[in-house]
Structure 1
């Protein structure tokens, strides 16, 4: 497959100050809670044949932030992420397929809470630029939906009106600005 326009083969390392990972989950069946998880590191090894490229990422579950210290503490507890035992989330790509001119599905192994599952990460390559410091940057946006129960995140509370407090489905999104090595 042809390389996306502007991208060149080589290793790109995430600029963690310009890279973010977030999640969205339904709360009480009627609203959404959004949060972020710090990206510790990520790299994209872009191959001459783009579909042979590799992606790795590590996130710090201890830094989960939903804007509520009480909720963040609960998410860090054994009820959810159990950060004392499983402080990091990881993603390691296993294959890439094209789904459009700048759109791809990056299949990979996602580990959350010590449980690893194969997931399809839908990714859009959003372009390249040279920053004022001479760094060549490449940007990507990705999104996937997981079942939190599949990762052992089963805590919940029944609602008086029916349903549960926390939805099983969680949307995860990531925006990466990476610098060419």
Structure 2
């Protein structure tokens, strides 16, 4: 018996239909920003999310919630500043959220359009998605899918930092 799957011919991908939960132990949410003459890299350590896979790409959905207080750039003073009203204002806006509806096949690849909310400001974004594979590697033999999604935003669009003023 074959279960229903999302088939994306352009990627030669067949992903079983169902709800997939982001596994924090095997996932990461990272970023980099230009600062002075270089790039500062960081991560968000606390996040949750789900991806609903349907038979048609346009019927799929994704949600993610990221705790802004979990920012980590390996510099405590900088992280405290990022949590402050100068940047993320985590007391007023504790979470960043992403919500999508559907995938689109774009130039032979996958795109995940959605709404990103930071500091209470919501903007449309499109994430480029890379399907990394399907495997049964869980401790109980459960299936796992690997997906990477990236996008570029301007922090000023979300009122983040002095440049946003």
- Which TM-score applies when normalising by structure 2? 0.87
Contact 1:104 1:122 in 2 (8 A): yes
Helix, strand or coil for the counterpart of 1:149?
helix
Name the counterpart of 1:75: 82
The RMSD of aligned alpha carbons is: 1.7
- More contact order relative to length (CA 8 Å, sep ≥ 6): 1
Contact 2:13 2:131 in 1 (8 A): no
- Aligned with 2:7 (options 2, 8, 26): 2
Name the counterpart of 2:151: 144
Helix, strand or coil for the counterpart of 1:17?
helix
Gaps of 5+ in 2: 1-5
Helix, strand or coil for the counterpart of 1:86?
coil
- Aligned with 2:91 (options 71, 74, 84): 84
More helix by share: 2
Contact 2:133 2:147 in 1 (8 A): yes
In the alignment, the residues of structure 1 paired with residue 20 and residue 13 of structure 2 have an alpha-carbon distance, to the nearest angstrom, of 16
Aligned length: 155
Name the counterpart of 1:119: 125
After TM superposition, where is structure 1 displaced by more than 3 Å over at least 4 residues in a row? none
Name the counterpart of 1:58: 65
Contact 1:127 1:138 in 2 (8 A): yes
